[in-house]
Amino acid sequence: MVAVETRKETTEGKFLTFVLGKEVYGIEILKVREIIGVMAITTVPQTPDYMKGVINLRGKVIPVIDLRLKFSMPEEEHTQETCVIVVEVSRSLIGIIVDSVSEVLDIRSEEIEDTPNFGHGIDTNFIEGLGKTKGKIIILLDIEKVLSTEEMEMVEQIAAK
């Protein structure tokens, strides 16, 4: 009998790393469209706290979420380092506000550990794995799963307006 490994295969490759609080996160570089400074955000009524509103980027309306608030972290004043990473999720562009962008890292599959199980009721589905490189642990996000299906529908409706 052969043991079947149930490892969620996190593909190695290039990840854009960024900081939220004291933690370093990474998202697959192929999902990143651009990095911009924080600009004027038009708030949209009746949306969750983390949904900051929309920006007009070269004629395109792009919803913006504050990743700190989405991850239940305290809101912080924006600094010179704060920026918006425009990512493509399910064929929609979304801006995510982060404390600062670090660098693009090449992370090999042997440097990626499975996401630990934190017990029942704690959703870590949006974490692809933990990258161990340069003496740091980088939380690798599956940006497609950071927003739930309902949240994605809301984002798409906002972008369509």
> Is 6 part of a structural domain of the chain?
no
Contact 137, 130 (CB under 8 A): yes
pLDDT tens digits, the chain, 161 residues: what are they?
443 333 345 568 899 999 999 999 999 999 999 999 999 999 988 888 999 999 999 999 999 999 999 999 999 999 999 999 999 988 889 999 999 999 999 999 899 888 776 655 556 788 889 999 878 899 999 988 887 767 777 777 776 66
> Is 7 part of a structural domain of the chain?
no
> Is 4 part of a structural domain of the chain?
no
Residue that is written with structure tokens 């990512």 in the block: 87
> Is 148 part of a structural domain of the chain?
yes
CA separation for the pair 133, 150 (Å, rounded): 34
Q: Please state the domain count of the chain.
A: 1
Q: What is the CATH number for 63?
A: 2.40.50.180
pLDDT at 2: 42
> Is 64 part of a structural domain of the chain?
yes
> Is 83 part of a structural domain of the chain?
yes
Classify residue 144 by burial, with Cβ atoms within 10 Å: 0-12, 13-18, 19+. middle
Sign of the CA dihedral 69, 46, 27, 121? positive
Domain extent for 112: 13-160
